């Protein structure tokens, strides 16, 4: 699969590279986070949210609304699923990593999605990106020995457990957590989630 770079013009329809932040303390703090053989995602980490850059991310990145700062770390080579939010997401690559992404506009009326439309982008270590709300994405893929570490910044509460029951019809079938709509691939065997990804479980 062709791997592009987030600095390429082709990434602009999915998001943008962020400038003007000092991520040095954030990158240093992330060195203490685990890198398991699979993938771990922690939505909110107090130590990361206590850093000075958190206020800049909240005010400049999200217009002042409350945010959470967590991480997604591990080893991964496959797509497995695609999710979207009703908001942008900011990622800071602590290591080189690859994102597999697509367009929400390409999701069919029955909430299926053809994985042949997925594109791969390298996010070099130290790079921060905004991933637009209409960009389908999921866990990063490994781009170097030792796995990946990625900071994830979202509106507060995102990806937390739903505090209400939902009728499993229409788009509600995709609602997997707060502000998280997920389309899974059947090969990934993600329990209880809607398997609407059609085609290959893309591998990097």
- Domain range list for the chain: 3-198
The mean pLDDT value of the chain amounts to 97
Pairing of strands 67-74, 148-155: antiparallel
What local confidence, expressed as pLDDT, does residue 167 receive?
A: 82
Task: Taking residues 89-116, report their average pLDDT.
Answer: 98
Q: Is the CB of residue 26 less than 8 Å from the CB of residue 50?
A: no
Residues 6+ apart with CB under 8 A from 22: 52, 53, 56
Whether 190 shows a pLDDT value over 90: the answer reads: yes
pLDDT band of residue 176 (cuts 50, 70, 90) is: very high
Task: Taking residues 60-81, report their average pLDDT.
Answer: 98
Residue 203, beta-bridge partner list:
78
Architecture of domain 3-198: Sandwich (2.60)
């Amino acid at each position: 699969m062709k791997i592009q770079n987030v600095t390429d013009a082709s990434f602009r329809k999915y998001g943008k590279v962020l400038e003007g932040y000092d991520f040095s303390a954030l990158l240093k703090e992330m060195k203490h986070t685990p890198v398991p053989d699979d993938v771990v995602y922690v939505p909110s980490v107090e130590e990361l949210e206590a850093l000075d850059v958190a206020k800049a991310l909240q005010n400049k990145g999200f217009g002042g609304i409350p945010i959470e700062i967590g991480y997604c770390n591990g080893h991964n080579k496959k797509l497995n699923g695609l999710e979207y939010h009703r908001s942008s997401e900011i990622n800071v690559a602590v290591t080189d990593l690859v994102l597999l992404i697509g367009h929400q506009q390409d999701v069919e009326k029955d909430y299926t999605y053809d994985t042949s439309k997925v594109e791969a982008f390298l996010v070099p270590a130290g790079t921060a990106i905004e991933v637009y709300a209409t960009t389908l994405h999921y866990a990063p893929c490994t781009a170097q020995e030792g796995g990946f570490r990625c900071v994830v910044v979202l509106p507060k509460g995102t990806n937390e457990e739903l505090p209400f029951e939902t009728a499993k019809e229409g788009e509600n079938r995709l609602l997997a957590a707060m502000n998280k709509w997920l389309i899974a691939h059947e090969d990934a065997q993600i329990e209880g989630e809607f398997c609407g990804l059609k085609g290959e479980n893309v591998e990097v």
